[in-house]
Structure 1
């Protein structure tokens, strides 16, 4: 069956345009809305989502400060991921109203943590969760991070150093480039992009750059991205006990951000759920093994 092409659209809930892409399918298909990771955008996941467009009616939304969403994103005001949760609730409400029934939510990394909080606070909107490497930090490690903020010398402890290095390196990131080709040359095979299969980087660039004057500009301000990485007041772990829907959890084998007791608690909430670690994968498994993830995502249809 031929795959559908996405359409770029916007919501406006009164505080600026919210960008999203949609694969319009048969209205009888289950709704599936996807949330991206910090620093990425909805189009980054096209190669993961498009092959699923004959199975689901799909939307993928650009979070505040990302992609082509234009709502206010002031780094100094970013202190808690609850702002992403509240934004997401509005777009999910819109999709649920259109479908006339709850929808499945999928999310990667920060997106995974955010959809958990939506499912916990507004369970009537959500029929199932597909969690891909959600950021679930143990209470012990959260306390270590808080210690590092209070006592700078503690930042040299291994876990705290690792937790803060992403934000520090993001702040140093170049934002202006003379061309998309130069962006690709700068990123391909490096850092977070090292293991990505062909096509994902091109979509990341297309979905996260705009032209200003003579330059191609990253639409996600590195200061906003760094502020998101540093916003540790959120704790998706606490939302787990309120989740009451089918769960699929897909983890990377290397450097996973999904920590215990999160996995154990998720299994307790859904003993019949799918809980898999994808062999040889990292935190960026959607970009490494999209076909494997597609097979697992399809299966949740039978449980909602």
Structure 2
């Protein structure tokens, strides 16, 4: 079982403008929410550990996760509203986020809630802005400390400076996690947001030196690069796709990577440390293909296992 921790919220997209207002369209989202659904759609066994409100939005989020096959037995249900995030997309399809709300449900998770999380789970995934806002950040750190050495600890910073603008806090959190993470997935954009003068290669060296077993850096149109302490950097080009938008692309890549590792029996630190070049390349190609499918359609509409399998192994007469 993989426990995915963090926020579930609603993304709000502006639509047509009128003299007295703006039409809005709300869609469920949040990086950990997307990741949990992506894992379930790709055949993974997953639990969601994130604060979900009892309001109309929270009930919808809970029902959506449950309908996808995500185990909801450990999700806290605080008496707080659901977070709303305004999403605007630029002319390249890249999203920008503005947070609305405070004291919202995803933040209202405390250490008492950790009693619900089994100690024998295969992996714990943390990340996004819940690692830098309180009280949930302290709760997730306590979970990482508890599970360190018991479960595979996976981290995706997913930096959102529009939600928490203190760069130093993000850097401190990342450094703390580098010393405790077994698998790190980070975007090149996030690296440059926190360390503008640091190259991807230098960051990978720093992360491996701090103790991370597997570092994966997604680079958008430039593809992906990954390394372990035993394997030199492996670079794969991006998959050609007609991009509609990139909302959920990073979450999909992470879902694909973790689903592949779970299916292949790699959800231990020893297995990740010993992964061979061929297996790592297969994992990255699976994750990249899944992300490409998401980029080919509107919003965070993550693919199912049969879609990714068909794209990787098209029928002989297929034109794909």
TM-score for the superposition, normalised by structure 2: 0.39
TM-score for the superposition, normalised by structure 1: 0.41
Higher helix share: 1
Structure with more contact order per residue of length (Cα contacts < 8 Å, sep ≥ 6): 1
